[in-house]
Amino acid sequence: MKDKILFGYTGLFDTPDSIINAAKKASEEGYKKFDINTPYPVHGMNKAMKLPPSKLGYASLVFGLSGTISALLFMYWTSVLDYPIVIGGKPFFALPAFVPIMFEVTVLSAAIATVLTMIIVYFKFPNISHPLHDTDYMRKVSSDKYGICIQADDELFDESKVQLFLKELNAQSIAPVYFDDEETENKPSAFDKKFIALLAVVAIIVSGSTYILLNKVVYSVPFNWMMNQNKISPQQSNAFFSDGFGMRNPVEETISRGNLPYQFKNKPEEAGLLLANPLAFTEENINLGRNKFDIYCSPCHGYFGNGDSRLRGQFPNPPSLHSEKVRNWKDGNIFHVITEGQNIMPSYSSQLTRQERWAVVLYIRALQRAQNAKESDIQ
Amino acid sequence: MEVLDYSKELSVIEGRPALREIDEIISKPLNTKPDKKYFIALLVTLSMVGIGAISLGLSFYYGTGLWGNNNPVGWGLPIVNFVFWVGIGHAGTLISAILFLLRQKWRNGIARFAEGMTIFAVMTAGIFPLIHVGRPWLAGYLFPYPNQHSIWVNFTSPLLWDVFAVSTYFTVSFIFWFVGLIPDFATLRDQTTNKIKKVIYSVTSLGWRHSNRHWQHYEMVYLILAGFATPLVLSVHTIVSFDFAVSIMPGWHTTIFPPYFVAGAVFSGFAMVQNVLIFIRKIFNYEHIITLDTLEKMNKVILFTSMLVGYAYGMEFFIAWYSGVQVEQFTFINRAFGPYSWAYWIMVSCNVLFPQLFWIKKIRRTIPFMFVIAVLVNVGMWFERFVITVTSLSRDYLPSSWAYYKPTLVDAGILIGSFGFFFTFILLFTKTMPVVSIAEVKAVAEGSQPSHGEH
């Protein structure tokens, strides 16, 4: 036993009162490196041992807040910067909708970080060995005794004095505790290179297999049957048809719903003779016509149909709508021009529905009347 | 009438067991070989798991068409079961965290078991969202990781909040449970003579040596975790209720849902804890640790939450009438008198009427009575989720799309499997870990704390 290194002296007590007393005396004597071992936390022991309050709260504060902030920044980055998508008309940065996840991430990171801090900093994990383990002392304090252990590396430690001190406190089974040989040589720590390398290997294996699982395995047989279905996808070629295209055009002359073909294609005179404006001269129709005229016609024809284009010569100016010719046109002729286009004016049949086109015709008539008012109109 | 002396704190542990006795009685199930009854129980639960596994296998092979889910009722039994099991878990966190913060010493005897139950219930609940998507192997898409579509999850969706809430809840509950187990593992490590057990307990106790320099930080961590778990447990069922309340379905789109769901969760969770503890204390002779007083206190909580839930039922009707929204009014009339009225009245009678019997002290303290009432509470709470999920969906705004939802045999098989899964873990737990916290029970045993005259 002589070659063993002394760790400290231990003594046992029977009641919580006596261990509190022992702790008080030990700290009054000036011992710094002593410890109390009790099967459960004894009230008032921290005060008796003169321990400063635990600082673990700061760890949870720091890690919890970093969790909140990183969750917020991450959601901001994904939803505003990296891939903004409008969902349900909400703004990209929808703070109220981000709150639940910010809260959950805060709790998660604070809880994990606090426990890890305790385990690594205070329990010295992964070093789970200690001279006190596997001693009779430990077997008793983990069940029903209260123990004190004064360590040999304390400045005031003196073998005979400590023995006397424990005896004066009426401690039972006072005994020395020695280091195991293995323990003195081998001291693992969380910051050991080997341990960190082990963690890194585990992290690489876990992330690698997750990546392969999520990005490769689920796209291979038999999990991909939904992706390779027995049907022709858009833009796919197909040998079944003589032209080799998978996509088919509709049969010629097919009429899509709501798009009756225009009967007077290239027949402006007949349009003028046979078409009549179905809309009544009401305020509602005039307003619709003005709205559409201002949007689609006014850029070239001007707000009042004078041919004063706002396009500053980038597109030739059209003639005025107040000319003798246009004023004498039938409604059907104007409708025909809007539908078919004329000279360099394109067709507006896809921008304006039939009803809207007739409303524009009404509005043009109103403009013409306003610019060429008769005596009888002024009343 | 007996007179209580309120100036003295009643002991939560009956008799004055020596601390060593507490060790022995709690670790006894771990040191003895399981008997025949244990294996029979395990056989039953494993067969239930088998039924669930076969039902799930069929569902994945033939597709989810085997379930009763139809066109308006897209959320059938899987979502009902999910909400039910998450709710069961809530009592565990309430007992271990909220009652800890409120310094309720009687929780010490039942906290460990309730925490374990939380973990198993959340595990069981987790099965359902996964199977409900039909292709559980694609569940990875629920997490925001850089995937090959280079698209992110929708952070504004309650369904995604659910993913975060439930996974956080599981992780934090597990950590809380494990931290509580560390000192007990150390005690077991010092007791055992078996070499394999010694290695296992040495690793799981993380080198714990009951040092007060550790207890100091340990108690701080316990306090912090309890402080985090308390808002967490409230947030989890709140977010589960958001799955319903954020939508615009009549009967779902109400602000009462979060508190209503949390109260219901605590209600059903306490009933489940009480049910299982009645067996545990009998089988393992823990009658003086999990005392009749403790069970009575739990029954009082059940009575209280029953009235909260009853208030919520009434208030839903009141607000439907008061809001003047016709669809809302129809939904509630339909709940009580429509095709699902049978489910509604099972819910009301089991959740509101039967627990009122707990006003009578005799019933509160008679084990067979309280057991039956708690079983009824769990039946009622399962039906509550059924009523909420199914009645709103089966008759929504468009009468032309109304349809009656009927669960199929496969649905029933999955439900049975979930109970088997849960109770299998409970059974394994009772034989592998101390179901009562050794250190915490010692701390509240009589004479275990220094007398006040000393300081």
How far apart are the C-alpha atoms of A88 and A295, rounded to whole Å? 29
Handedness of CA B301, B307, B313, B319 (dihedral sign): negative
Please tell me whether residue B209 adopts helix, strand or coil conformation: coil
What's the pLDDT score for residue B11?
A: 65
How far apart are the C-alpha atoms of A339 and A342, rounded to whole Å? 9
Among B307, B422, B281, B213, residue whose Cα is nearest residue A35: B213
Among B406, B250, B265, residue whose Cα is nearest residue B343: B406
Distance (Å) of CA B84 to CA A21, B98, B245, B261: 52, 21, 17, 10
Q: What is the DSSP string of B349-376?
A: IIIIIGGGGGGSHHHHT-HHHHHHHHHH
Among B420, B401, B143, B376, residue whose Cα is nearest residue B274: B376
Residues in chain A closer than 8 A to B137 (CB atoms): 218, 223
Q: Which residues of A67-80 are buried (b: 16+ CB within 10 A; e: fewer)?
A: bbeebbebbbebbe
Residues in chain B closer than 8 A to A143 (CB atoms): 19-20, 23, 187, 190-191
Task: Please indicate if any CB of chain B lies within 8 Å of the CB of A16.
Answer: yes
CB pair distance less than 8 Å for B450 and A16: yes
How far apart are the C-alpha atoms of B9 and B24, rounded to whole Å? 26
Q: Which of A37, A40, A57 sits opposite B211 (nearest CB)?
A: A37
Q: Interface pTM (ipTM) of the complex?
A: 0.90
Q: Looking at CA atoms only, how far is residue B226 from chain A in angstroms? A: 10
Q: How many C-beta atoms surround the C-beta of residue A186 within 10 A?
A: 10
- Go through the domains of chain B in sequence order and give each one's CATH number: 19-443 (1.20.1630.10)
Q: Where in chain A is the domain with CATH 1.10.760.10?
A: 268-378
Per-residue pLDDT of chain B (455 residues; tens, 9 = 90+): 456 566 555 566 776 677 888 888 888 888 888 888 889 999 999 999 999 999 999 988 888 889 999 888 988 899 999 999 999 988 888 888 888 888 888 888 888 889 999 999 999 999 999 898 877 877 878 888 887 778 899 899 999 999 999 999 999 999 999 999 999 999 988 888 888 988 899 888 888 888 888 899 999 999 999 999 999 999 999 999 999 999 888 889 989 999 999 999 999 999 999 999 998 888 888 888 888 888 999 999 999 999 999 999 999 999 999 999 999 999 999 999 999 999 999 999 999 999 999 999 999 999 999 999 999 999 999 999 999 999 999 998 888 889 999 999 999 999 999 999 999 999 999 888 888 888 888 888 877 788 754 44
Query: Which residue in A has a C-alpha nearest to residue B142's C-alpha?
Result: A214
pLDDT > 90? residue A33: no
Q: What is the DSSP string of B146-165?
A: --TT-----TT-HHHHHHHH
CB pair distance less than 8 Å for A60 and B228: yes
Residue B281 and residue B337 in contact, taking contact as beta carbons nearer than 8 Å: no
Among B352, B350, B353, B347, residue whose Cα is nearest residue B390: B347
Query: Which residue in A has a C-alpha nearest to residue B179's C-alpha?
Result: A115
How far apart are the C-alpha atoms of A150 and A170, rounded to whole Å? 15
Q: Looking at CA atoms only, how far is residue A40 from chain B in angstroms? A: 5
What's the pLDDT score for residue B454?
A: 43
For the beta sheet containing A172-178, the strands, ordered from the edge strand earlier in sequence to the opposite edge, are A34-37, A146-151, A6-13, A172-178
Task: Please indicate if any CB of chain B lies within 8 Å of the CB of A376.
Answer: no
How far apart are the C-alpha atoms of B158 and B142, rounded to whole Å? 12
Average pLDDT, chain A: 86
CB-count exposure of residue B98 (10 Å: 0-12, 13-18, 19+): middle
Residue B238 and residue B251 in contact, taking contact as beta carbons nearer than 8 Å: no
Among B355, B257, B230, residue whose Cα is nearest residue B302: B355
Distance of CA B276 to the CA centre of its chain: 12
Q: Rg for chain B (alpha carbons), in Å?
A: 23
Interface-testing mutation among B16, B155, B204, B236, with chain A (most A C-beta atoms within 10 A): B155
Among B169, B165, B118, residue whose Cα is nearest residue B142: B165
**A367: Cβ–Cβ under 8 A, 6 or more apart, which residues?**
A304, A305, A321, A322
Task: Please indicate if any CB of chain A lies within 8 Å of the CB of B428.
Answer: no
The encoded tokens of residue B384 equal 């509550």
In which band, very low, low, confident or very high, does the pLDDT at A1 lie, cut at 50, 70 and 90? very low
The encoded tokens of residue A280 equal 């009544």
Residue B208 and residue A124 in contact, taking contact as beta carbons nearer than 8 Å: no
Which CATH superfamily, name and number, covers A268-378?
A: Cytochrome c-like domain (1.10.760.10)
Query: Which residue in B has a C-alpha nearest to residue A43's C-alpha?
Result: B449
Q: What are phi and psi of A9, to 5 degrees?
A: -115, 140
Q: What's the whole-number mean pLDDT along residues A332-343?
A: 89
Residue B204 and residue B185 in contact, taking contact as beta carbons nearer than 8 Å: yes
Task: Please indicate if any CB of chain A lies within 8 Å of the CB of B115.
Answer: no
The encoded tokens of residue A192 equal 């050991």
The residues in A 94-123 lying below 8 A from B, measured between CB atoms, are 94, 97-98, 100-101, 103-105, 107-108, 110-112, 114-115, 118-119, 122-123
Q: Which residues of B267-293 are buried (b: 16+ CB within 10 A; e: fewer)?
A: bbbbbbbbbbbbebbeebebebbbbbe
What is the residue type of B297?
K
How far apart are the C-alpha atoms of A12 and A137, rounded to whole Å? 8
Q: How many C-beta atoms surround the C-beta of residue A223 within 10 A?
A: 13
Half-sphere exposure for A74 (CA within 13 Å, toward CB): 18
Residue B392 and residue B251 in contact, taking contact as beta carbons nearer than 8 Å: yes
Residue A11 and residue A141 in contact, taking contact as beta carbons nearer than 8 Å: no
Please tell me whether residue A98 adopts helix, strand or coil conformation: helix
Residues pairing with A8 in the sheet: A151, A177
Residue B160 and residue B168 in contact, taking contact as beta carbons nearer than 8 Å: no
Residue B305 and residue B266 in contact, taking contact as beta carbons nearer than 8 Å: yes
How far apart are the C-alpha atoms of B195 and B285, rounded to whole Å? 27
Residue A190 and residue A120 in contact, taking contact as beta carbons nearer than 8 Å: yes
Please tell me whether residue A359 adopts helix, strand or coil conformation: helix
What's the pLDDT score for residue B5?
A: 61
A112-142 residue pLDDT tens: 999 999 988 888 777 778 888 888 888 888 8
Q: Which of A20, A88, A108 sits opposite B450 (nearest CB)?
A: A20
Query: Which residue in B has a C-alpha nearest to residue A92's C-alpha?
Result: B156
Q: Which of B175, B213, B451 sits opposite A115 (nearest CB)?
A: B175
What is the residue type of A272?
G
Question: Residue length, chain B?
Answer: 455
How far apart are the C-alpha atoms of B348 and B435, rounded to whole Å? 34
In which band, very low, low, confident or very high, does the pLDDT at A177 lie, cut at 50, 70 and 90? confident
Residue with tokens 């460990």: B112
pLDDT > 70? residue A324: yes
Q: What are phi and psi of B306, to 5 degrees?
A: -60, -40
How far apart are the C-alpha atoms of B168 and B162, rounded to whole Å? 10
Task: Please indicate if any CB of chain A lies within 8 Å of the CB of B97.
Answer: no
What's the pLDDT score for residue B165?
A: 93
Task: Please indicate if any CB of chain A lies within 8 Å of the CB of B448.
Answer: yes
Handedness of CA B262, B264, B266, B268 (dihedral sign): negative
Which of A262-266, A325-329, B393-397 is the most confident on average?
B393-397
Task: Please indicate if any CB of chain B lies within 8 Å of the CB of A39.
Answer: yes
What is the residue type of B166?
V
CB pair distance less than 8 Å for A130 and B207: yes
> Worst-scoring range by mean pLDDT, A36-45, A179-188, B248-257?
A179-188
Q: What angle do CA B185, B188, B193 make, to 5 degrees?
A: 135
Task: Please indicate if any CB of chain B lies within 8 Å of the CB of A23.
Answer: yes
**B382: Cβ–Cβ under 8 A, 6 or more apart, which residues?**
B80, B84, B268
Task: Please indicate if any CB of chain B lies within 8 Å of the CB of A209.
Answer: no
Q: What angle do CA A314, A315, A319 make, to 5 degrees?
A: 135
Query: Which residue in A has a C-alpha nearest to residue B170's C-alpha?
Result: A108
